[in-house]
Homo-oligomer: A and B are copies of this chain.
Amino acid sequence: MSMSRHEASTGEQSRMLSRENKVTITSGLSPSYLQANLIILPSRYASDFRRFCQRNPVPSPLLAESSQRGSPFGWKSYIQGIPDSAVAANCDIRTDVPRYVVYRDGVPIHESQDLLEEWTDDHIAFLLGCSMSFESALTRAGLEPRHTTLDINNPMYITNIPTNPAGVFTGGTYIVSMRPYRRSELDRVRKTTRPYVLTHGEPIAWGWDGMARLGITDIDQPNWGDPPRARWGGKFSEAQGLTGEDDDIPVFWGCGVTPQQAVITAKVPGIILAHAPGHMLVLDVKEDDVLEKD
């Protein structure tokens, strides 16, 4: 197959490109298809992890898990109205994400383009909603995210907001993604993303006071993704291709990298596998399938 990044229009096409290692970050891939965060755990942690998601649905909205322990094929769906077979057909979770992180005893030890070596018959994979999945909706509302416009990766930050502990998953904090918007756009941004409850929903904080409450000290130094390009009080100029009269403020959403942070802070023993931030599994489910009506 010689399909290029911008020719992938379905979730399955994007998974094939990932399997063949023809893509890196998935932002903008197969627009309107749901993208998912991934974490793969030894089965003894599965019960605690489901509770972790139940207790932290904003950063960790559970979409699906492996059809059975040890099988890299097939999904059990937690999305209302989506049968198991409609999550991601012909998917091999060991290969269909562009880049993975391998953790041993809570420490990231290496990154990999597949998990053919690391996957065992005791692993269970979990898929979590991703905020990239409401970006089509933002774009339709005239609120295209800056990183989409500029074709860069979304910045992500570690916060000091504790997640609710569940079993072994103690001591974690929220990870957030950030998109810059004008203050005058905030109400529409909140309203547009609010119904996407399975992909983090509305923002959890905004503005410089909101950033301070999250414990983020330098907006220009994200922990993952590309540094933001924004009109922070005139700091960035029109020379960078950004024009407009109003300053931007940072707007923060829960991020599905949060469970990885929980694994790190709790030093969870064993081999745990996850997607590399920004490198998602693209599903067959469409964004509108998870839109919750008021």
Report A's interface with B, CB cutoff 8 A. Answer: 47, 51, 54-55, 57-58, 161-162, 164-167, 194, 197, 201-205, 213, 254, 294
A57 touches which of B54, B165, B204 (Cβ 8 Å) = B54
Residue of B nearest to A210 (CB): B162
**Is the pair B162, A201 in contact by a Cβ cutoff of 8 Å?**
no
**Is the pair A166, B55 in contact by a Cβ cutoff of 8 Å?**
no
Residue of B nearest to A47 (CB): B294
**Is the pair B166, A213 in contact by a Cβ cutoff of 8 Å?**
no
With contacts A47-B294, A294-B47 taken as known, whether A165 is within 8 angstroms of B202 at the C-beta atoms is yes
Give the distance in Å from the alpha carbon of A161 to the alpha carbon of B204 in the complex.
12
Task: Give 13 new A-B contacts, CB below 8 A, not counting A55-B197, A165-B204.
Answer: A51-B197, A54-B197, A55-B57, A55-B58, A55-B201, A57-B57, A58-B164, A161-B162, A162-B204, A164-B204, A165-B203, A165-B205, A166-B201
With contacts A55-B58, A57-B54, A58-B55 taken as known, whether A164 is within 8 angstroms of B197 at the C-beta atoms is no
Residue of B nearest to A213 (CB): B162
